[in-house]
Chains A and B, each alone.
Chain A
Amino acid sequence: MSNTATAATVRETDGHLSALDRRIIEFIQKEIQDKSVVLTRETRREDVAIDSIDIVNVVFAIEEEFDIEVNLTPDAKFDTVGELIDTLTGFIPEEKRPS
């Protein structure tokens, strides 16, 4: 019971973010101009003006963090932060993802 209650609390405060989601959001957060915006998976790209420079910087941060190669070009298409997270997650091997 207590486990279920804890999980519900996390869902309420963090939506449906995994530990990896939260880490990637931290990287994106560093790049966007308005530092007061709280990013969620639903945040729309145009609302926070994520540009190609932001993407290359996030890709670089992920490569450094997980010691991997991310073959994503700066013109990658996505509409929401969640879509970008999912694309980036696809480059990160399961065994390197935070639990």
Chain B
Amino acid sequence: MKGPWLDVTGRGIVSSLGQQVETFARAIFEGRSAIGALDIEGFSLRFPNGAPIRDFDPSAHFDDRTRSMLDRFAQFATVAARAAWAESGLTADDVDPTRIAVVIGTANAGIDILDDGFRRIFRTDSRIPPLTIPQTMGSAPASRIAREIGARGPVFGVTSACASAAHAMLVGASMIRAGLVDVAVVGGTDSCFSEGYLRAWDALRVVSGDTCRPFSIGRKGLIVGEGAGMLVLERAGRAAARGGRPVARYLGGGMSSDAGDLVAPDPVGMAGAIRNALADAGLAADAVDYINAHGTGTAANDRAEAAAIRAVFGDRDEQVALSSTKSMVGHAMGASGAIEAIATIAALEHGIVPPTLNYLGPDPEIDLDPTPDVARERAIDVALSNSFAFGGLNVALAFGRAED
């Protein structure tokens, strides 16, 4: 491998299939779905279903004052980052605080509170709560996490729609490789069930009227999800030196831009990101055992992603396993890349390919096997996680098994 790889030493997740990594991993291996009827009042949508997090209790995690300072997306991020930091076992004695980075992706930033603010202005002509600005800024989660872990190095948010978390992870990893920092807390977060946001998706008409069927014939679109995922990355060998235990390796990442349509994906751009990731990791295509696809369940994404995979991997679909966990947790937007990185690492760790649910049969335009309905056991040494955003912003990340 080209390397240097990085150690992944911590993971944290807030998802509609659990708020512990092990709970989430078991759920995706069992093929459980968080997609269900949305409980909305006062407005209507063309789509009845979504995958909101129904059991997130902010008061279990924050005192009143802290909770009042954080929008839901920042609460998700903070809870996930705390878990990732705890799993890493890092303490104040292990790392110079100025050499810790926090890079957090978000597509929507504080949209719940923004939505409430607009409702106050335009529906009731009432005052805007005073903390609206600090609550809604896209960098709020990064600031909060930095405060909690004492990170005094590079701390900021990044945004690239549905690839936000993946870009954040790649940027954090790159800073470690460049020697700017020793440790990076990276990931993504989004809260997606405010009225304005749901109605905006409704207007775009790409949300499925039934469920999420990635790569399937008869797929009707994406299903809106939400959540946060966080990783702690460290320079290779650092964890072992302090007695920590890596859970996986970050092998490399690739980025590309379609320089094209705002919503129509381009297989050339997608394939470029995958090739760049393989080159960055020093891997040949035949080293890859599993691809956790972007796999939104829209007609256009899945067709383009399949073409990109075919372009890079040729006729190797017998050797490369493929699935989309969005079929279980929906599309968590700026968090999806991090939630899926955690799914990818779980697949590496356990040697299990999570399934793609709701598969009705092959689409003639997609000549790939997306592991329908039931997980499969197989040895996975190297896995890719794809994130392809609206606006043609593409990221692929390569992860490898931690050495036993």
Chain A contacts to B: CB under 8 angstroms: 31, 33, 53, 56-57, 59-60, 63-64
Cβ B129 vs Cβ A60 within 8 A: yes
B65 contacts A by Cβ under 8 Å: yes
Which residue from B63, B127, B131 sits with its C-beta under 8 Å from A53?
B131
A63 and B129 CA atoms in complex are apart in Å by 11
Q: Please tell me if the beta carbons of B65 and A59 are within 8 angstroms of each other in the complex.
A: no
| Binary flags per residue of B163-191, CB closer than 8 Å to A gives 1, else 0 | 00000000000000000000000000000
Cβ < 8 Å to A, chain B residues 38-71: 63, 65, 68-69
B130 at the interface (CB under 8 A from A): yes
* Interface pairs (12), CB distance under 8 Å: A33-B63, A33-B65, A53-B69, A53-B131, A56-B130, A56-B131, A57-B68, A57-B131, A60-B127, A60-B129, A60-B130, A64-B127
Q: Please, which residues of chain B bring their CB within 8 A of the CB of A33? A: 63, 65
The 8 A CB mask of B56-94 against A (1 = contact, 0 = none) is: 000000010100110000000000000000000000000
**10 shortest interchain CB distances as A-B pairs:** A56-B130, A60-B130, A63-B127, A57-B130, A60-B129, A33-B65, A64-B127, A60-B127, A53-B131, A59-B130
B: interface residue count bin: under 10
A33-B68 Cα distance, complex, nearest whole Å: 12
Complex CA gap A60/B117 in Å reads: 14
| Interchain nearest-CB distance for A65 vs B (Å) | 11
Interface residues of B (CB under 8 A from A): 63, 65, 68-69, 126-127, 129-131
Given contacts A60-B127, A64-B127, 15 further A-B contacts (CB under 8 A): A31-B65, A33-B63, A33-B65, A53-B69, A53-B131, A56-B130, A56-B131, A57-B68, A57-B130, A57-B131, A59-B130, A60-B129, A60-B130, A63-B127, A64-B126
* Chain B contacts for A60, CB-based, 8 A: 127, 129-130
Give every chain A residue within 8 A of B129 (Cβ-Cβ): 60
| Alpha-carbon gap, A87 to B41, bound state (A) | 42
Contacts of B130 in A (CB 8 A): 56-57, 59-60
Q: Nearest chain A CB to B85's CB is how many angstroms away?
A: 24
CA distance A26 to B129 in the complex (A): 18
Q: Which residues of A have CB within 8 Å of B126?
A: 64
Q: Which residues of B contact A59 (CB under 8 A)?
A: 130
Q: In the bound complex, how far is the Cα of B69 from the Cα of A9, in angstroms?
A: 40
Which residue of chain B has its CB nearest to the CB of A64?
A: B127
Rounded to whole angstroms, the CA-CA distance of A64 and B129 in the bound complex is: 10
> Chain A residues near B127 (CB, 8 Å)?
60, 63-64
Q: How far is the CA of A53 from the CA of B66 in the complex (A)?
A: 11
B-side contacts of A31, CB under 8 Å: 65
Bound-state Cα–Cα, A59 to B128, Å: 12
Query: Chain A's nearest CB lies how many Å from the CB of B62?
Result: 13
* Residue among B69, B126, B127, B130 with max Cβ neighbours from chain A (10 Å): B130
Closest Cβ neighbor of A35 among chain B residues:
B64
What distance in Å separates the Cβ of A38 from its nearest Cβ neighbour in chain B? Answer: 18
Chain B residue contacts of A53, Cβ below 8 A = 69, 131
Q: CA A63 – CA B127 in complex, angstroms?
A: 8
Neighbouring B residues of A63 by C-beta, 8 Å: 127
- On chain B, the residues within 8 Å of A56 by CB distance are 130-131
Complex: chain B residue closest to A74, CB-CB: B130
Q: How far is the CB of A44 from chain B (nearest CB, A)?
A: 20
A57 to B127, CA, bound (A): 12
Q: Which residues of B are found within 8 Å of A64, using beta-carbon distances?
A: 126-127
Nearest-Cβ distance from residue A97 to partner chain B, whole angstroms: 20
Interfacial chain A residues near B69, Cβ < 8 Å: 53
Give, as a whole number of angstroms, the nearest-CB distance from A29 to chain B. 12
Complex Cα–Cα for A74 and B113 (A): 21
CB distance from B70 to the nearest CB of A (A): 13
What is the minimal beta-carbon distance from B130 to any residue of chain A, in angstroms? 4
Q: In the bound complex, how far is the Cα of B68 from the Cα of A63, in angstroms?
A: 19
B119 to chain A, nearest CB (A): 15
**Cα distance A64–B126 in the bound complex, in angstroms:** 9
Shortest distance between the CB of B404 and any CB in chain A (Å): 47
Report Cα–Cα, A60/B127, bound state, in Å.
Answer: 8
Instruction: Give every chain A residue within 8 A of B65 (Cβ-Cβ).
Output: 31, 33
Q: How long is the Cα–Cα vector from A63 to B120 in the complex, in angstroms? A: 15
B162 to chain A, nearest CB (A): 33
